């Protein structure tokens, strides 16, 4: 799975759905160990299993403002939701 949007993707409100999350946060999500180990190959069914294991909900934390697991799952949900409409 690449970190770029397919050109034929449906754009909500005239822009790429991935742009709902800022570029800085997206790059931190891509660099996070949780994204690389758990989120990279998630499907629409397996994302629910990861969401059940969440212990907290938040945005970023720590001195470097690391993304939480919740934020990583929200981003992958946006990414998967976008491709759901491409397949239809």
Task: For the chain, give the mean pLDDT.
Answer: 80
Place 10 in a pLDDT band, splitting at 50, 70 and 90.
Answer: low
**Distance of CA 86 to CAs 7, 17, 34, 68, 83, Å?**
10, 13, 27, 28, 5
3-class secondary structure, 14: coil
Indicate the domain borders of the chain: 19-87
Sign of CA dihedral 18, 23, 27, 28: negative
18, 78 Cβ separation under 8 angstroms = yes
Give the predicted TM-score (pTM) of the model.
0.75
């Amino acid at each position: 799975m690449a970190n770029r949007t397919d050109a034929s993707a449906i754009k909500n409100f005239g822009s790429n759905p991935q742009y709902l999350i800022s570029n800085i946060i997206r790059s931190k999500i891509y660099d996070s160990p949780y994204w690389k180990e758990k989120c990279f190959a998630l499907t629409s069914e397996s994302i629910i299993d990861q969401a059940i294991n969440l212990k907290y909900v938040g945005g970023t934390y720590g001195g470097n403002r690391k993304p939480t697991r919740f934020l990583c799952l929200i981003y992958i949900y946006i990414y998967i939701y976008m491709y759901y409409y491409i397949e239809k």
